[in-house]
Amino acid sequence: ELMRTQDIALRARAEKVVPSGMWGHLHAAKLPEAYPQFFKRGEGGILWDVDGNRYVDFMCSWGPNLLGHHHPEVEEAAERQRRQGDCLNGPGEVMVELAELVVDTIGHADWTLFQKNGTDATTTCVTVARAATGKRKILVAKGAYHGAVPWCSPSLLGVTAEDRAHLIYYIFNDIQTLEAAVREAGDDLAAIVVSAYRHDLGFDQELPTQDFARAARRLADAGNAALILDEVRAGFRLDMAGSWEPLGVRPDLAAWSKAIANGYALSAVTGRDWLRKAASQVFVTGSFWAGAVSMAAAVATLNVVRRDNVPARLARLGQMLRDGLETRSRQFGVSIRQSGPAQMPAVLFDDDPDFSKGSAFCNAALAKGVYFHPKHNMFLCAAHTQADIATALEAAEHGFAAVAALRDSA
């Protein structure tokens, strides 16, 4: 039912000039077979692929699309700045305005630094923590994603053991493994890195328990180490002051990106005063890190997030989707597991080790104009409407029917 002509032609051209046609997490080979690689346009929560197929989109650019594509206030702020200049010999006035807004919005933040990608921000956090403490060991949760450079890439290809020499792994939400990792670090503990919640690919999502969050805080304090919160994926969708604010646990450093400028390239590190000096001394920079357009977009984005209480809207819409999926899956006799925060839903099927049920579900929904993901957490945006959720649930019925058909033919 989906048009594929342009997508197929572009893939063939790309394969000749781009290794395997695409790199990284947006490679369509990692998606069910009907999924397009190339897109033409986005508007609000809707996406058109290069063949003109229209989708209600629940990946939202894998996070950056928070308010909807072409949000008028964000675009106007970016356009106004673009007319003045973007990449100059130094930042514009807007850097100070944005920094003031970030420090005012984020609960733990005494200061902030800006970069481009989430990986820049997580890596800067690690560098600042090591510089401030003079220590080397970094604790990270097994399976957690913090970026695509040698210290944290999920692939070991092209990575040396030395790149990981000072990492020690623990299991998210498991205090005993965290304590063991702290013991192993001994007097060399620089930082404990935690994700906002456990959102590992292909697993049920897990919110942090209050006990785990408190233990991470206590162990970092006892070890004179920094608690680093990776907010890159969850930031501004759960709680605009910080994803661990409801738990009453504040990090020393946090990494932000994705949603912070509604699709413009920007990331931020926020930190507490005891890390301010180290943050001023480490050498972290990039040619585009002072770009003013994305900062103007971020100011507009954060103002809308605060004014409209975007996390609450996303939670309401996400709950409608979740409740609707639950009811319909039961009607079709298909068992699913929905996990994590409703505004970042993950839907996995029982007895689906190779994700063939998830893929059948997603392919069928895609044909009905809804873009879901079979393994990864999804994202809602504030431009999604109740009508979009209704469309999604109709498409999901076709998806559940396809899964039921797999079972009946087995």
Q: Which residues bind ligand PMP (CB under 6 A)?
A: 117-119, 122, 145-148, 195, 230, 232-233, 257
Q: Least distance in Å: CB of 122 to ligand PMP?
A: 5
Q: Which is nearer to ligand PMP, 145 or 372 (CB)?
A: 145
Q: Least distance in Å: CB of 167 to ligand PMP?
A: 15
Radius of gyration over every alpha carbon of the chain, rounded to an integer in angstroms: 22
Burial category of 33 from C-beta neighbours within 10 Å (exposed 0-12, middle 13-18, buried 19 and up) = exposed
Q: Least distance in Å: CB of 119 to ligand PMP?
A: 3
Q: Least distance in Å: CB of 118 to ligand PMP?
A: 2
Burial category of 111 from C-beta neighbours within 10 Å (exposed 0-12, middle 13-18, buried 19 and up) = middle
**How far apart (Å, rounded) are the C-alpha atoms in residues 286 and 264?**
16
Q: Which is nearer to ligand PMP, 42 or 118 (CB)?
A: 118
Q: Which residue is nearest to ligand PMP (CB)?
A: 118
Backbone angles phi, psi at 255, to 5 degrees: -110, 130
Q: Least distance in Å: CB of 307 to ligand PMP?
A: 26
- Residue 353: alpha-carbon gap to chain centroid: 24
For the four alpha carbons of 275, 281, 286 and 290, in that order, the dihedral sign comes to positive
Q: Which is nearer to ligand PMP, 340 or 399 (CB)?
A: 340
Rounded (10°) angle between helices 93-105 and 292-308: 30
Q: Which is nearer to ligand PMP, 195 or 363 (CB)?
A: 195
Q: Which is nearer to ligand PMP, 117 or 270 (CB)?
A: 117
Q: Which is nearer to ligand PMP, 230 or 388 (CB)?
A: 230
Q: Least distance in Å: CB of 243 to ligand PMP?
A: 11
Cβ-based neighbour number of residue 265 at 10 Å? 17
Q: Least distance in Å: CB of 225 to ligand PMP?
A: 20
Beta bridge mates, 279 = none
Q: Which is nearer to ligand PMP, 264 or 400 (CB)?
A: 264
Beta bridge mates, 371 = 57
Q: Least distance in Å: CB of 257 to ligand PMP?
A: 5
Q: Which is nearer to ligand PMP, 50 or 193 (CB)?
A: 193
Strand 46-49 relative to strand 54-57, pairing: antiparallel
- Check if the beta carbon of residue 94 is closer than 8 Å to that of residue 258: no
C-alpha torsion angle, residues 386, 56, 345, 312 (rounded to 10): -40
Residue 1: partners with Cβ closer than 8 Å, 6 or more residues away: 367
For the four alpha carbons of 66, 271, 167 and 164, in that order, the dihedral sign comes to positive
- Check if the beta carbon of residue 343 is closer than 8 Å to that of residue 318: yes
